Structure 1
């Protein structure tokens, strides 16, 4: 029995290693890792991975090991490996680089020093030098474990691979590895996206977060970024000959982008002038050509700014978009802009350092509104000095005066002349001088009475708010614990296109996820969902509220974002009885542009409710059917009253819209919308008459 190996761990090892059991059909009791220690997991780690491989013909062992590894992964369990347990775990690895990720994981779990006999295992796993350049960070750690001539062979292999580039930045980074801390090496080697890392790197931590605390790497990051900025400036000055897309190697672009993320995480002062020069100049060729010095670096830096923006890097991104002539680069950078603005709002300590740069006018006002709105989920607040700077800025004072604000002690107010007023238009004694904090008011911050008062005040004064605020949709967790927004057929092209622009990312086998403040929420999807997918999928809803203990405002904002996705891509309600014809119809509709589908739905409703619309009892808007102050969403059937969701009892009986000859699709959802409209008309003491 190994050190720290318990009886149950020893018994499981016997089963995993194919040892003797008393009966051929014996499977043993179910294994639950809930109360297992890391040391116990370490005792069986090698046996688990050996049994899960296809080097034997024992199907029962393989299925047992696969199920147990899935259980450990779902619980985020990691073993503690030391001495013989570490060697046993390495013994389970094959001698090809597809196994290196597993080996690096074992190395991250190593307690203390590696045993002396580790060198032989590491050399076996490394294999031939021809494959080392594919995973250089992993290869370096294994070469260091192997010792002997392996580190020299690694250095020679990397020299042959990268030295011929004009600026061999990748080679310089690899030469830096011996100076880095073990945590930094493991961060680089343990990430599948250590090179081209962005927010679509599913389930991965950014290695730059760890590298930002490593002094050697921080110095390296500054050196190469300043060098790159000088190089690109020399190209534009004519000191270096220009060649399209040849300023940097593709691999070097990823090193520069990682260095930019390191500097941005630290918010180093030296990085500010560098990124303002580097990003715009790398996107545009000298003269009038529509090419660029480096497409790869332009796009990699765009991802870096989107991932962890600073005020200066966001300014550089906007400048680049204003200058770029290359259509492909423009398209990529435009996708980075909105998520970058949202992410900067999550860094309120630096977000307002340079105020609101940009040209005067409505565009600058819209930028301010978006940044303020993006801070809702995190309850971002401004210092009074920052807030006064916004108020006193003549160009964006209009924005500040059209919004409802909230002091640190919860007092809501609007600006009125030189003073402030409350929701009922009465003067409010709000301290606007000295120290303190002010944030954006959210409808959930007030009672129903206060929300109605603010809505009435804004309407009476004809205030046009730069963002939906007093009439903002609000959401509360369902009382029955169910998952909201489930049961819809969604068009994948429309869903994925909008999700990418709105900052969602695909999570393996689960759905779409997005951060809201300190929380990450998941919209669960069923079907084959992958980038570029066509057809339709089924929404299984936002993960239940009990799984997401979000703050009320964050939960409401998450639901609002999900509502947008569902509203823009919903084809139909999922019906209990499916048919081949209906599936074919939905598959066809899923790949149509959303405009014609929404237009046809409005056409049907306009014909069905023609009398009511003509009489002014209803109004048909682009996304809603309005009945008084109630709004029925045309693609989800959700009913709101002044932005707040309300429950309605839909009539069980009524006209069957399936009989309408021009009905385009999905009878169930149109019936729901029409029946709900009838209920609301009755509530307003008007007979539907259809």
Structure 2
């Protein structure tokens, strides 16, 4: 997608100017806390959008904070240090020293040290390092003290940058800096300290297990040390440090189980700090360590919490392409007594048992009797391998939107590559598509239908159908979303998926599953308007899907917008400037959200949904097809001649029409819902599986709707054989 369509969206310099304007408003807003509307409006905006400061506005803010401290006895040091970290021209450090000294003396005198790192940053300006360090380290453990000692060697601006992510998440005065983790990665000495901290924590836990330090439940680390270890692990995971896997595995194993037979842990806090860090920046090794902890811990509550956290971690791992490609192959061959257990992944993940060269139908009785724990462990491993394969497939999909060539060659020789279509640059600018990664020593990329002519798409779809090739994700039949004339008109937003009514709880779950970040909506102040966001192309683009709460069970859908990062924050960008595959992949996700969660996709909704939404239900149930349904129609057109009921089926623009002996039925290709001729009476059939079990379907990624449609076709073609009274009553009227 190319072109420079004229747009009302702000340019990067305009976005930067807006951030400076917001920074200029903050001193007045901080001073005017009793002018509630003005103060609230500016502070809320500063919490959402980037603010930047000139040396003059930074100085003004510090002076105002001194005034407020004197008159109202209150200081939020995070606002001051936030300004210090957001002054691109450099803060006037000498000019700020006096106000900073007043603020620090106030905080020490009033013993308001709930933001120790922000206070330490101000102390660096004020020349009060010794006084502040003595106060904030009084109750710190040695690992946390070492962190403070490192910070004391930094200047005030570096300290302010370090303090920025430590703002209270319930009241964050300034929106987080873009690429904050990358900025922290460059702080002098901190990457090396992170390694020292993780290794020191591991050594302490090892000493507890060796009996050198007495075991006390949950007392392995001071509260401050847990946070320090969490920060160290988070940065090391972000940097994907080569040294981390071994020390992290030993630390996680050590804190997950007591050295005695007790169900308690040396430190749940450190275990969950590691898990939270992995939620932000997962690696296969961190996931493996947490799965080990989940297996060995004796505390049932910890097991449940880790299960929940691992579910959140897996989708995020798929967005770290180069890291996700390190996921283990998954194939296992293991001797268990006189038998062999084999986990294969060639066509789905399967655990099989062998005796010599003979494959057995079930787990051998001797193995069940003599090795029950090993059987249980292998079954758990099958679940893990299935999840790993799903994550790897998702990572491959994520690569479509990448602007840099993902390192696909890392996967060479893996079974997953054999079922995918690849493109190879056989000469400069000339790409040739092949099934399987079988052309060595040339650039390679995943084939996408948006990059090739329609006749090539048709050829690959026929090949996948003819060879009954089950692809790891929908590739040959992948939907393509191009910019429409309406979107060219709206310029910086798309209304293509606006106006649908969806089941909210299912939608929210799908956001998490597909790696979109969204707050949970509810009947509280500001809780009815939602934005789901997904980063694409390694963080170079952000897609936003707007949605609003309709009632406790439903939401309505709104615009889709795209932003790219600038110094002034995220810049709203004209759709015509969004790379073609970034646009297509984001819109594909939104289409999936609606296809799966729309009230029209629920055949029983009409019996229990609110009356006010019946028109929405009918429009979604039987309206024009979206792109996902058009692809389903194409797949069904290829599939129909293979069906035993083909002579009773006709494909129209929206429906699969099935001729039964009693009536003729129209199955909508977008919802799977059914109308009966001649009067278009609605027929409610709850999805079930039937004749489609024996038929190859090229994909089941859309909630199984293609399978549902085929099953309903088999059922209704033989309508005289239907015995379910809930269906026959409707057919006979």
TM-score by length of 2: 0.62
Cross-structure match for 2:137: 159
Cross-structure match for 2:114: 134
1:101 has 2:78 as partner: yes
1:268-279 aligned at under 5 Å gives the runs: 268-279=241-252
Contact 1:123–1:143 (CA under 8 A) maintained in structure 2: no
Q: In the aligned structure 2, how far is the partner of 1:245 from the partner of 1:257? A: 16
CA shift for structure 1 position 492: 3.6
1:337-376 aligned at under 5 Å gives the runs: 337=310, 340-352=313-325, 356=329, 359=332, 360-361=343-344, 362=349, 363=382, 364=385, 367-368=388-389, 370-376=391-397
Candidates 424, 446, 468, aligned match of 2:452: 446
Q: Secondary structure at the match of 1:513?
A: strand
Candidates 525, 532, 538, aligned match of 1:512: 532
CA shift for structure 1 position 566: 3.5
CA shift for structure 1 position 232: 2.3
Q: In the aligned structure 1, how far is the partner of 2:645 from the partner of 2:22? A: 75
1:223 has 2:196 as partner: yes
Cross-structure match for 2:515: 503
- The alpha-carbon distance between structure 1 residues 71 and 264, as it changes in their structure 2 partners (threshold 3 A), is closer
Q: In the aligned structure 2, how far is the partner of 1:171 from the partner of 1:113? A: 29
Cross-structure match for 1:469: 475
CA shift for structure 1 position 42: 9.7
Contact 1:282–1:297 (CA under 8 A) maintained in structure 2: yes
Candidates 400, 403, 412, aligned match of 2:420: 403
1:524 has 2:546 as partner: yes
Q: In the aligned structure 2, how far is the partner of 1:120 from the partner of 1:72? A: 22
Cross-structure match for 2:290: 317
Contact 1:491–1:535 (CA under 8 A) maintained in structure 2: yes
TM-score by length of 1: 0.66
Cross-structure match for 1:6: none
1:459 has 2:465 as partner: yes
1:272-311 aligned at under 5 Å gives the runs: 272-286=245-259, 289-311=262-284
Q: In the aligned structure 2, how far is the partner of 1:627 from the partner of 1:183? A: 69
Candidates 551, 554, 574, aligned match of 1:546: 574
CA shift for structure 1 position 204: 5.7
Question: Could you give the per-residue CA deviations for residues 616-654 of structure 1, whole angstroms, max 9, x where no partner exists?
Answer: 7579xxxx986699973439x9x9xxxxxxxxxx99x97
Q: In the aligned structure 1, how far is the partner of 2:194 from the partner of 2:461? A: 51
1:566-585 aligned at under 5 Å gives the runs: 566-571=594-599, 582=610
1:190 has 2:164 as partner: yes
Contact 1:177–1:185 (CA under 8 A) maintained in structure 2: yes
Q: Secondary structure at the match of 2:500?
A: strand
Q: In the aligned structure 2, how far is the partner of 1:86 from the partner of 1:444? A: 51
Contact 1:225–1:256 (CA under 8 A) maintained in structure 2: yes
Cross-structure match for 1:394: none
Q: In the aligned structure 1, how far is the partner of 2:216 from the partner of 2:576? A: 52
Q: Secondary structure at the match of 2:189?
A: helix
CA shift for structure 1 position 68: 6.8
CA shift for structure 1 position 300: 1.8
Candidates 525, 536, 539, aligned match of 2:554: 536
Cross-structure match for 1:172: 146
CA shift for structure 1 position 258: 1.2
Q: In the aligned structure 2, how far is the partner of 1:222 from the partner of 1:34? A: 41
Candidates 593, 603, 607, aligned match of 1:565: 593
Contact 1:384–1:436 (CA under 8 A) maintained in structure 2: no
Question: Could you give the per-residue CA deviations for residues 420-471 of structure 1, whole angstroms, max 9, x where no partner exists?
Answer: 8xxxxxxxxx7x23x3333332333333322222222122222222333222
CA shift for structure 1 position 226: 0.3
Cross-structure match for 1:17: none
CA shift for structure 1 position 366: 5.9
Coordinate RMSD, CA, aligned: 4.8
Cross-structure match for 2:669: 632
CA shift for structure 1 position 305: 1.9
- The alpha-carbon distance between structure 1 residues 117 and 484, as it changes in their structure 2 partners (threshold 3 A), is closer
Contact 1:338–1:502 (CA under 8 A) maintained in structure 2: no
Cross-structure match for 2:568: none
Q: In the aligned structure 1, how far is the partner of 2:263 from the partner of 2:506? A: 30
- The alpha-carbon distance between structure 1 residues 193 and 549, as it changes in their structure 2 partners (threshold 3 A), is farther
- The alpha-carbon distance between structure 1 residues 476 and 260, as it changes in their structure 2 partners (threshold 3 A), is same
Q: In the aligned structure 1, how far is the partner of 2:556 from the partner of 2:485? A: 23
Contact 1:247–1:293 (CA under 8 A) maintained in structure 2: yes
- The alpha-carbon distance between structure 1 residues 316 and 439, as it changes in their structure 2 partners (threshold 3 A), is farther
Q: In the aligned structure 2, how far is the partner of 1:269 from the partner of 1:319? A: 20
Cross-structure match for 1:267: 240
Q: In the aligned structure 2, how far is the partner of 1:625 from the partner of 1:285? A: 61
CA shift for structure 1 position 548: 8.3
Q: Secondary structure at the match of 1:103?
A: helix
Higher relative contact order (CA 8 A, sep 6+): 2
Contact 1:382–1:438 (CA under 8 A) maintained in structure 2: no
Q: Secondary structure at the match of 1:522?
A: strand
- The alpha-carbon distance between structure 1 residues 555 and 85, as it changes in their structure 2 partners (threshold 3 A), is same
Q: In the aligned structure 2, how far is the partner of 1:414 from the partner of 1:84? A: 63
Q: In the aligned structure 2, how far is the partner of 1:242 from the partner of 1:299? A: 19
CA shift for structure 1 position 525: 1.9
Question: Could you give the per-residue CA deviations for residues 642-689 of structure 1, whole angstroms, max 9, x where no partner exists?
Answer: xxxxxxxx99x97575xx9999xxxxxxxxx9xxx9xxx9xxxxxx99
CA shift for structure 1 position 239: 4.0
Q: In the aligned structure 1, how far is the partner of 2:399 from the partner of 2:73? A: 45
Q: In the aligned structure 1, how far is the partner of 2:284 from the partner of 2:297? A: 20
Q: Which runs of 5+ in 1 are unaligned?
A: 1-32, 391-396, 421-429, 574-580, 590-612, 640-649, 664-672, 682-687
Q: In the aligned structure 2, how far is the partner of 1:212 from the partner of 1:551? A: 29
Q: In the aligned structure 2, how far is the partner of 1:618 from the partner of 1:92? A: 80
Contact 1:387–1:438 (CA under 8 A) maintained in structure 2: no
CA shift for structure 1 position 191: 2.4
Contact 1:306–1:339 (CA under 8 A) maintained in structure 2: yes
- The alpha-carbon distance between structure 1 residues 324 and 472, as it changes in their structure 2 partners (threshold 3 A), is farther
CA shift for structure 1 position 414: 0.9
CA shift for structure 1 position 413: 0.9
Contact 2:124–2:155 (CA under 8 A) maintained in structure 1: no
CA shift for structure 1 position 534: 5.1
Q: In the aligned structure 2, how far is the partner of 1:224 from the partner of 1:254? A: 11
1:329 has 2:302 as partner: yes
Contact 2:500–2:556 (CA under 8 A) maintained in structure 1: yes
Q: Secondary structure at the match of 1:169?
A: helix
Task: Count residues with an aligned counterpart.
Answer: 545
